[in-house]
Amino acid sequence: MVDSRFFSKPERQTLDQICKILGIDVPRGSDPHFEVSGFAKIDEATSTEITFMHNAKYADKLAGTKAFACLITEKYAHLLPRTTVPLIVEAPYLALAILLKRSYSIHNPQASMRGKTFIAKSAVVAEDAIVEDGCYISDHVVIHSGAIIKSGTFVGPNTTILHGVEVGDGSHIESNVTIGFAIIGKSAYIKTGARIGQQGFGFYVGDTYMEDVMQIGRVLIGDNTQIGANCTIDRGSMGDTKIGNYVRVDNMVYLAHNVEIGDCCILAAHVCLAGSVKVGKSCMMGGQVGIAGHISIGDSVMIAAQSGVINDIESHAKVAGSPAENIMTWRKQMVALRKLA
């Protein structure tokens, strides 16, 4: 059950309305006027709720579901009980995303102020900083000289935006974030505790001393990109650290100076990319992947969790292990090791 203390309670929608949103016909024999109360997991959904199935691992649970309807592909629809209406779609998870966005919203102070500008009394905004119309600036936010916060942006409590930073239209920055030396695109989502634009890990090592090398680059983040909670992204040493459009960075990821990430990449939690790593478009990295400095990764590469990458990887490759190698080779090695045990 969705907790109404945190999420708005959705208005009941009829089966006909839901099917229109998804662009599908109401299944034959179903009541188009039936009112759906919400959404839930396969084994928790009630007779008035919709569930979904997008992972074959959960196919054996379908027979026992009590859901009114299920977002499902045609391949698995026959596994549903007769009491559950199959809503057949090509991508059940995408269909769920569309319906949830239409049905719920998170309770937040900005909602009642949408379209209006609000700056909390405790916020500190430099005289020459620009906060455009429709922005919501929360308590104890500090916005330094020369910063530009474009229209419709939300900035959460205790966030600091340093000199000259630019945040694109409709972005959402949660609490306790620090952003410096950065240009951020439209509709970005920066989650709690992220640190963006600080000095990277660069210094000259002498025989008896160390000399820090000033980092004179920036962080460039594209449109519709999300940065997870407690991530750290260093600015470029010379040149920029670059993150493309529609990138999803999970919590506690570290990106060193001059890392470049192409559009539509997904980085799971605890990924660590050393300096000057170049990642192509549409790549996926599992949790705790580590990539050594100055490595190049092609487009559409998949790197399994806990892999250690020390060599360049060509486009469309799938790798695993430490050091990382072709995933089929790695699997054969694992089988051989088990036989030796």
CATH code for the domain in which residue 92 is found: 3.40.1390.10
Rounded alpha-carbon distances, angstroms, from residue 147 to 75, 128, 150, 256:
52, 8, 10, 24
**Same domain? 97 vs 182:** no
Token readout for 168 is: 């694109």
What percent of the residues of the chain are helix, what percent strand, and what percent coil, each to the nearest 5?
15, 30, 55
Q: What is the pLDDT of residue 82?
A: 93
| Average pLDDT, 10 consecutive residues per value, the chain (341 residues) | 73 91 93 93 93 92 94 94 95 94 73 76 96 94 97 96 97 97 97 96 90 93 98 95 98 97 98 97 98 97 97 97 94 90 75
Q: Residue 279 falls within a domain, yes or no?
A: yes
Q: Residue 24 falls within a domain, yes or no?
A: yes
Q: What is the pLDDT of residue 123?
A: 97
Q: Residue 145 falls within a domain, yes or no?
A: no
Q: What is the pLDDT of residue 241?
A: 97
**Within a 10 A sphere around the Cβ of 335, how many other Cβ atoms?**
9
Q: Which is the catalytic residue, given 144, 257, 270, 294?
A: 257
Q: Residue 111 falls within a domain, yes or no?
A: no
Type of residue found at 70:
C
Cβ burial of 227 (10 Å; 0-12, 13-18, 19+) is: buried
Q: How far apart are the first and last CA of the chain?
A: 47
Q: What is the pLDDT of residue 1?
A: 64
Q: What is the pLDDT of residue 203?
A: 86
Q: Residue 150 falls within a domain, yes or no?
A: no
**Same domain? 99 vs 186:** no
**Same domain? 185 vs 292:** yes
Q: Which domain holds residue 41?
A: 13-103
Q: What is the pLDDT of residue 102?
A: 86
The whole-angstrom separation of Cα 191 and Cα 230 is 8
**Same domain? 85 vs 182:** no
**Same domain? 84 vs 224:** no
Q: Is 54 in the active site? A: no
Largest interatomic CA distance in the chain: 82
**Same domain? 181 vs 328:** yes
**Same domain? 203 vs 328:** yes
Model pTM score: 0.87
Q: What is the pLDDT of residue 93?
A: 95
Q: What is the pLDDT of residue 87?
A: 97
Q: What is the pLDDT of residue 239?
A: 92
**H helical segments located in the chain:** 15-22, 92-103, 327-340
Domain end position, chosen among 86, 103, 120? 103
Token readout for 275 is: 């300096």
- We report the CATH number of the domain holding residue 253 as 2.160.10.10
Rounded alpha-carbon distances, angstroms, from residue 175 to 87, 120, 136, 157, 191:
39, 14, 12, 5, 7
Q: What is the pLDDT of residue 110?
A: 61
Q: Residue 125 falls within a domain, yes or no?
A: no
The whole-angstrom separation of Cα 32 and Cα 19 is 9
Type of residue found at 195:
R
Domain end position, chosen among 103, 138, 157? 103
Domain count, the chain: 2
Domain end position, chosen among 103, 134, 151? 103
Q: What is the pLDDT of residue 104?
A: 80
**Same domain? 319 vs 221:** yes
Q: Residue 109 falls within a domain, yes or no?
A: no
Q: Residue 234 falls within a domain, yes or no?
A: yes
